[in-house]
Structure 1
Amino acid sequence: MTAPEPPPVDQLTRAQYTGWACVWCGKTLWRGAASAGISRGQSGAHVLDSEVYECAPPCGKRPSA
């Protein structure tokens, strides 16, 4: 089973983009966060890809693969 792709960077809040909030539910991450993958994006020639995080154990709002 493969993990679902995180949303593109232009659909994330600043907190989600910087790893302060869960990429799926938006809750603030304090402890036990897990990598949710790489959120991809681009602005002209600038690559905006960012590693994003989710609540652990896997967030209840995470889409199924």
Structure 2
Amino acid sequence: MTRRRPKPPPMDELTYAQYQGWACCWCGTSLWTPEGGLSVGRSQGPHSTSIEVYACSRLCPQRPDKTPARP
């Protein structure tokens, strides 16, 4: 059975840094590190717009379901 990834927060709930891809979409940790971030999907906005968002790691402490993201 395949686990479903949690949906990223909507665009209107993201900070400027999260919106730009500079910070984790769940905890806000800076992604300006040698490791960078991990894509976790697309954040939905109004009028069928979306942006790709990133997390600090596969085990981000603020991740809604606390299960590792799929690579």
TM-score normalised to the size of structure 1?
0.83
Aligned to 1:39: 43
User: How far is the alpha carbon of 1:56 from its aligned partner?
Assistant: 1.7
Task: Find 1:8's aligned residue among 10, 17, 27.
Answer: 10
Indicate the percent of aligned positions where both proteins have the same amino acid. Answer: 48
Within 2, Cα distance between the matches of 1:12 and 1:54?
Answer: 12
Number of matched residues? 62
State the superposition RMSD in angstroms.
1.6
User: How far is the alpha carbon of 1:60 from its aligned partner?
Assistant: 1.3
User: How far is the alpha carbon of 1:58 from its aligned partner?
Assistant: 2.7
Within 1, Cα distance between the matches of 2:58 and 2:18?
Answer: 17
Which sections of structure 1, spanning at least 5 residues, go unmatched? none
Task: Point out the structure with the larger strand share.
Answer: 1
- Structure with bigger RCO (C-alpha 8 Å, 6+ apart): 1
Aligned to 1:57: 58
TM-score normalised to the size of structure 2?
0.77
User: How far is the alpha carbon of 1:32 from its aligned partner?
Assistant: 3.5
Which sections of structure 2, spanning at least 5 residues, go unmatched? none
Within 1, Cα distance between the matches of 2:55 and 2:49?
Answer: 19
